[in-house]
Amino acid sequence: MIRIDAMWLCVEPLDMRAGADRLLARVVEVFGGAKAHHGYLLTNTRGTRMKLLVHDGFGVWCAVRRLNQGRFLWPTAAAGALPALTQGQFDALVLGLPWQRLEHMQLITHV
């Protein structure tokens, strides 16, 4: 298994035809560099695909996830800052679930 110590989200969408080299160039442009054991998530404009780029200390790995139905609900930069996602919210995001409502879904208040 590849060790990932931190995950970063690129807010701006990217053309999913991009390969590992172009993804790496985008990560360097946005984050200033690709740190070892960090993962970088990117999505397309429609929110139906995401790519994960991971630098393992020796090279880069690229993985793709595509939804057959629906869209990934990608976070947006509000007032210049991205929200910090909990592990549960991140897991819901990559599954295509409504990660923004995850905490509200833990408690039933109406019957």
> What dihedral do alpha carbons 95, 98, 101, 102 form, nearest 10°?
-10
What is the predicted pLDDT for the residue at 105?
A: 58
Length of the chain: 111
Strand order in the sheet with 60-66: 6-9, 38-43, 49-55, 60-66
Across the strands, what pairs with 45?
none
Q: How confident is the model at residue 24 (pLDDT cuts 50, 70, 90)?
A: very high
Q: What is the pTM of this model?
A: 0.76
Could you give the CA distance from residue 62 to residue 89 in angstroms, rounded to a whole number? 22
Express each pLDDT in 30-44 by its tens digit.
889 999 999 898 889
Across the strands, what pairs with 38?
6, 55
